[in-house]
Amino acid sequence: MKTSLLSAFFTILKRDLTLALRTRSEITNPLLFFIIVTSLFPLAVSPEEKVLQTLAPGVIWVAALLATMLSLDSIFRSDFEDGALEQLLLSPHPISLLVLGKVIAHWLVTGVPLIILAPLLGILLYLPSDAMPALLATLALGTPVLSLVGAIGVALTVGLRRGGVLLSLLVLPLYIPVLIFASNAIATAAADLSIRGQLFFLAALLALALTLAPFAIAAALRISLR
Amino acid sequence: MWSFLHKLASPKHFYHFAGRLIPWLGWSTLLLMLAGLYTGLVVAPTDYQQGESYRIIYIHVPAAWMSMFVYMVMAGAGAIGLIWKIKMADIVASSAAPLGAAFTFLALVTGSLWGKPMWGTWWIWDARLTSELILLFLYLGFIALQSAIEDKRTAANACAVLALVGVVNIPIIHYSVEWWNTLHQGPTVTRFDKPAMDTSMLIPLMIMFFAFKLYFGLTVLMRARGEILERERNSTWVKQMVTESS
């Protein structure tokens, strides 16, 4: 029986979403981490409103970055261990599109909850309400880039027994542009200035990652599974 | 031309070819390095603004140039290895990585040594310094990935993918950092307006630049030769060579 590319893509998306929903701790743990890390900053630096306000964009984004990174391993790890990944590579469809389905599923279960939670953390850190739309917009544009670029790192390290720390070494430097534009956009919005430039940059990064990353992920998976 | 390149792709020919090239490269590196250091540290005039401490640029600037150049060599060799499955290209890429990291580190250290008397601080979150630091992280990630994967061929291919992803990212990182810096203009650094560099200062810099290039060529060939011996230790020509020389 031959399935069409579209149905293969959606089958993978649906399968990954179902698997993620069955093991809920994989979704909730990064979120808890996101909240806890953010709440450490008032304790460690200062609970003063002014200090926290200036820190807020950076702190929220760094926490989001780390939370995403911790959840990355789940994209390919369990599939690698039970052999499902090899089956995926044997399929007649282009692998880059199939892995894109997996990355989108990862973003839906980790990125979207982050976006939903972020305003709460913004309030905790006294982020001005003017900056809230900017926070949401940057997260909506930035977290898919994190998932896409991170998936390249996971695909490269999935065959290794201890890939965790190595993954962060590979992936974090590549996250820097997203971090710069996103936290800058939020700070600019808090100062009541236009953030169109930053958002365009983030959108450009997303377009670039969306078009190029799947090929790199597919190539990396083929190498890792050889 | 093509047959020459094909021959180079075989480790055995590369080993002997590099062995013949190394003395030439070694001596010319030494001569150029000495000439560059002498003209740069002794002959070139003192800068009227920065005094003698500007002379560190004769190490710093070539090292910074090389840090970018070596990454391109690494990524280029990695791509060749990935596309045409040429073992020698993998070996060159893996030999170049630690050298590139060393050049980057050297550029950072000399920059910081120069910054102390000039800016009054060891470190400034200046755009160039920051992107150089991130470049060092990229090198270290490359080396870490390489040492984490046991199978040499898999390691080389995985690193090639990483290097190519890095090549796409380097301009983005560079410009985003530059852009970030212009917005975060914190303590204003009094930037010296670049005076058109005097020829007497420029010539030693150019000599040092070529000396660094040759030095890189020399060390990359030496490292590649070592790597070839390690990877080909079970082949007959290596065994023969070892037994003949002992």
- Residue for token pair 């075989």: B10
Judge whether residue B12 has pLDDT over 90. Answer: no
- Cβ within 8 Å, pair B157-A176: no
Q: What is the mean pLDDT of residues A124-144?
A: 92
Tokens of B80: 């060749």
Residue of A183, A173, A153, A169 lying closest to A63 (CA atoms): A183
Quick one: CA torsion of A65, A70, A72, A76, rounded to 10 degrees? 170
- Cβ within 8 Å, pair B161-A223: yes
Contacts of A180 in chain B (CB under 8 A): 176-177, 179-180
The model's pTM = 0.89
Tens-place pLDDT, residues B76-90 = 999 999 998 888 999
- Residue for token pair 């990652």: A209
Judge whether residue A214 has pLDDT over 90. Answer: yes
Judge whether residue B106 has pLDDT over 70. Answer: yes
Task: DSSP letter for B235, please.
Answer: S
Mean pLDDT of chain A: 91
Q: pLDDT grade, residue B128 (50/70/90)?
A: confident
Reduced to 3 states (helix: H, G, I; strand: E, B; else coil), residue B47 is: strand
Contacts of A156 in chain B (CB under 8 A): 145, 158, 161-162
CA A102 to CA A141: how far, in whole Å? 18
- Cβ within 8 Å, pair B141-A184: no
Task: Count A/B contacts: CB-CB distance under 8 Å.
Answer: 74
Q: Which of A174, A184, A226 minimises the CB distance to B169?
A: A174
Q: pLDDT grade, residue B183 (50/70/90)?
A: low
Tens-place pLDDT, residues B190-210 = 444 454 567 778 888 899 999
Quick one: CA torsion of B40, B43, B48, B53, rounded to 10 degrees? 40
The yes/no answer to whether this complex scores an ipTM above 0.85 is: yes
- Residue A164 structural domain: 2-224
- Neighbouring CB atoms inside 10 A of A219's CB total 22
- Closest residue of chain B to A226, computed from CA coordinates: B154
Taking the Cβ of residue B170 and every Cβ of chain A, the question of whether any pair is shorter than 8 Å is answered with: no
CA distance B175 to chain A (A): 9
Number of structural domains in chain A: 1
CA A144 to CA B14: how far, in whole Å? 45
- Cβ within 8 Å, pair A201-B141: no
Q: What is the mean pLDDT of residues A187-213?
A: 91
Of A52-61, A113-122, B32-41, B236-245, the one with minimum mean pLDDT is: B236-245
Domain ranges (residues) in chain B = 16-45+55-245
